[in-house]
Structure 1
Amino acid sequence: MDKNDIILTYGSDPVAMTRALLEAIDIESLILDKNSSIALKPNLVVAATAESGATTHPSIVREIISFLQERGYSRIKIVESAWVGDSTKEGFRVNGYEAISKTFKVPLVDVKDDDYEKLTSNGITMEVSKTILDTDFLISLPVLKGHCQTAMTCALKNMKGCLSDRSKRMFHNLGLHKPIAALNAIRCADLVIVDSLNGDLDFEEGGNPVRTDRMFAARDSVLCDSFGSQLLGFELEDIPYIQLAESMGVGFTDLSKARVIQLNEPTNDKVAHPSGEVANLARYTLPKNACSACYGNLIHALKRLDEVDRLGNLETKICIGQGYRGETDKTRIGVGVCTRGLGKSLGGCPPKAIDMIQFMKEL
């Protein structure tokens, strides 16, 4: 796997998807020494299950450990810290990490109990977990989801769980964006495997999950977040810490130079319609056998339009899904290659949320 690669897979089985990604990555070409210390850094910001759209699916963590141990890597730890005021240990318990630890003999490290090293980057001094700093190879396992303060959280922001609670508070006082970039200039992930199965629309703590049934991997955290931002319907300018991290030498934002390797096609599993805001946004859609990835991107695009008061301008519902293949109703509008016979249609399989936004604005 090269530095400019993004490997993408679709499905509803995180175990099979994780293994497919790991095989495509060729992990042994990245971690040459089988005695290397490896840290897995999931997102357990709150003590909530992955179904809420807040936390990393534990089956992903389990499969990575199994895969690594099969290949002779034995020095593996799971390292994480919940946000200020919540219990990491409770997050471990709720998500079954104690059983994972016992089964695979892999220690759980609560960063809240760790020793820290005080380091300065770009004028910001912070306390960083010594376990993370001493790790030879760091695998970040973020959830791609919205965030009420930074618009999005993925690879770069997931590193915030490597700080002391005191530094987390300080990051918020400084506005999050520059500190997040500065932290990654000190230590960023060596490999990112993104859980984008059902991330929340807006909030780090979950509550409005949107099924997209995908996972992707990257070695460059900046490139990873640039790709993720488009999937959620954001411009880079909406998430300042991404470009700030690029300016600090963490990685690159230019997706035109990235090689996106898609391992399979999206499936047309039944799309879930959670209650609340997602159901409200779904009123603007006409799905027929829609793939979760395509439909999830449309929901994110509708949400972005709603945030800038443009959703009310839509005069017709948006058709989406494989059920529209062969239809030629010129009065209808659709997104995705399956709707190409309609009067107006946006191509792509699936089209990104950012492209859907532009398409609907032009309507």
Structure 2
Amino acid sequence: MEKNEICVIYGKDYKEMTKKILRTSELAELIPSKDTLVGIKPNLVSPSEASYGATTHPEIVAGILEYLQENGFQRMVILEGSWVGDRTSDALEICGYRSLCERYGVEFWDTQKDGSYQEECRGMKLNLCDSVRKIEFLVNVPVWKGHCQTKITCALKNLKGLIPNSEKRRFHSMGLHAPIAHLNCGIHQDFIVVDHICGDLDFEDGGNPVVCDRILTARDPVLCDAYVCEKMHYRLEEVPYVGLAQDLGVGSADLSKLVLHSCQEVEEELPYARKIVELRDAVEEVESCSACYGYLIPALDRLREEGKFSMLREKICIGQGYRGKTGELGIGNCTRKFRHSLEGCPPTENQIYDFLKEFLER
């Protein structure tokens, strides 16, 4: 498989689909030797089943493991760290990865419990988890989905699970896009298997899955994400970290050179509508963490469905940029000095919903 290629397969048997597309992509030929330590990095952002639209289907990772073992590779690990506010250990259980690791005899490295080191990433110093230095060939297994702050998340952003929680918070204070691009200079992903089974096109934490039943493979994370942008009807400039990563030499966003291998001649178009686009005008966000913002938007959507969203007259403030400041209505510990503020780091979707509903009905 060449770096300007993307392969796609459709179906319902996700494990066998994965094995088939890996054979087509000739993954085994890309790994230096049978003794290479292969790291498999899924998206386990939170403890929710893959059908919810946020996390990587364990059947896909099972297909990767079976394919590698059948081709004589025995040194594999799965590594990941959930977002700030959730424990990876909970996601490991609920998402089915504990039993997966036991079935295939592979270790799971929880990067939330990892040490860290500083790496120079093309002009930006970032803290990476120690596990990164141990991996010799990284297989990234992101979920194709929307994101309430960066609009899309796929190959490039999925590497955030390989940095400490403290660095995840710092990424948000830096505006996300630049550090995500530079992160991909410090961590090289060798191969990408995209879970496009039922990702949520609005929220990175799921809840509104869109069934597509597709798996893709790629070698260039920039090309992969540029393709995702196009299919989700975003211009490249609307997702700045993709272009920034290209400028830093991570890969190419030039879709005119893309060679797409598909099992079907016609691909279904994804919907244009985005809940985040419709609801974000009610929010004043400054350096907010993904979990906090990611729980706010679904709570607002619930209020809209109940006809209460139109009652909102105050902007909802959220994010680290409000620490120590005062205001009227805020979400999270960073707005604790506001007149009306909901504590939590992060507060849950239900807590935000109840808080805002009470605020609107007072």
Bucket of the pairwise TM-score, normalised by the shorter protein: 0.7 to 0.9
Instruction: Measure how far apart 1:217 and its partner are.
Output: 0.7
Letter in 1 for 2:193: I
Alpha carbons of 1:304 and 1:203: their partners in 2 closer, same or farther (altered >3 Å)?
A: closer
Instruction: Measure how far apart 1:306 and its partner are.
Output: 6.8
Question: CA–CA distance in 1 between the matches of 2:123 and 2:32?
Answer: 35
- The answer to whether 1:303 aligns with 2:294 is no
1:189 alignment counterpart:
189
1:219 alignment counterpart:
219
CA displacement 1:222-272 (0-9 Å, x = unmatched): 000011111211111110000000000000000111111113457xxxxxx
Question: CA–CA distance in 2 between the matches of 1:207 and 1:114?
Answer: 29
Alpha carbons of 1:305 and 1:241: their partners in 2 closer, same or farther (altered >3 Å)?
A: closer
Letter in 2 for 1:95: C
For residue 156 of structure 2, give the secondary structure of its aligned residue in structure 1: helix
For residue 155 of structure 1, give the secondary structure of its aligned residue in structure 2: coil
Instruction: Measure how far apart 1:100 and its partner are.
Output: 1.2
Gaps of 5+ in 2: 280-362
Instruction: Measure how far apart 1:32 and its partner are.
Output: 3.2
Question: CA–CA distance in 2 between the matches of 1:54 and 1:123?
Answer: 32
2:112 alignment counterpart:
112
Question: CA–CA distance in 2 between the matches of 1:35 and 1:264?
Answer: 36
2:283 alignment counterpart:
none
Question: CA–CA distance in 1 between the matches of 2:148 and 2:82?
Answer: 17
1:1-363 → structure 2 map (5 Å cutoff): 1-264=1-264, 294=268, 297-299=269-271, 301-303=272-274, 307=278
Given that residues 233 and 304 in structure 1 are in contact (C-alpha distance below 8 angstroms), is that contact kept between their aligned partners in structure 2? no
For residue 208 of structure 1, give the secondary structure of its aligned residue in structure 2: coil
Letter in 2 for 1:142: P
Gaps of 5+ in 1: 267-292, 309-363
Question: CA–CA distance in 1 between the matches of 2:52 and 2:74?
Answer: 32
Aligned length in residues = 280
Instruction: Measure how far apart 1:104 and its partner are.
Output: 1.2
Question: CA–CA distance in 1 between the matches of 2:123 and 2:276?
Answer: 37
Given that residues 223 and 252 in structure 1 are in contact (C-alpha distance below 8 angstroms), is that contact kept between their aligned partners in structure 2? yes
Question: CA–CA distance in 2 between the matches of 1:91 and 1:194?
Answer: 19
For residue 79 of structure 1, give the secondary structure of its aligned residue in structure 2: strand
The normalised TM-score by structure 2 is 0.74
Question: CA–CA distance in 2 between the matches of 1:94 and 1:305?
Answer: 27
When structure 1 is superposed on structure 2, of 54-63 and 14-23 the one drifting more is: 14-23
2:300 alignment counterpart:
none
Instruction: Measure how far apart 1:304 and its partner are.
Output: 8.7
* Aligned-residue RMSD, C-alpha: 1.9
When structure 1 is superposed on structure 2, of 91-100 and 117-126 the one drifting more is: 117-126
Question: CA–CA distance in 2 between the matches of 1:91 and 1:169?
Answer: 20
Letter in 1 for 2:25: I
Question: CA–CA distance in 2 between the matches of 1:158 and 1:256?
Answer: 25
Alpha carbons of 1:257 and 1:307: their partners in 2 closer, same or farther (altered >3 Å)?
A: farther
1:284 alignment counterpart:
none
For residue 274 of structure 2, give the secondary structure of its aligned residue in structure 1: helix
For residue 83 of structure 1, give the secondary structure of its aligned residue in structure 2: coil
2:299 alignment counterpart:
none
Given that residues 188 and 221 in structure 1 are in contact (C-alpha distance below 8 angstroms), is that contact kept between their aligned partners in structure 2? no
Given that residues 133 and 187 in structure 1 are in contact (C-alpha distance below 8 angstroms), is that contact kept between their aligned partners in structure 2? no
Question: CA–CA distance in 1 between the matches of 2:270 and 2:184?
Answer: 31
Instruction: Measure how far apart 1:202 and its partner are.
Output: 1.2
Question: CA–CA distance in 2 between the matches of 1:120 and 1:185?
Answer: 9
Alpha carbons of 1:178 and 1:306: their partners in 2 closer, same or farther (altered >3 Å)?
A: closer
Letter in 2 for 1:25: S
Question: CA–CA distance in 1 between the matches of 2:91 and 2:26?
Answer: 30
CA displacement 1:59-111 (0-9 Å, x = unmatched): 10111101101111111000000001101011010011111111111000000
For residue 126 of structure 1, give the secondary structure of its aligned residue in structure 2: strand
Question: CA–CA distance in 2 between the matches of 1:133 and 1:305?
Answer: 36
Question: CA–CA distance in 2 between the matches of 1:221 and 1:165?
Answer: 23
Alpha carbons of 1:158 and 1:306: their partners in 2 closer, same or farther (altered >3 Å)?
A: closer
Alpha carbons of 1:265 and 1:95: their partners in 2 closer, same or farther (altered >3 Å)?
A: farther
Question: CA–CA distance in 2 between the matches of 1:105 and 1:186?
Answer: 29
Given that residues 156 and 188 in structure 1 are in contact (C-alpha distance below 8 angstroms), is that contact kept between their aligned partners in structure 2? no
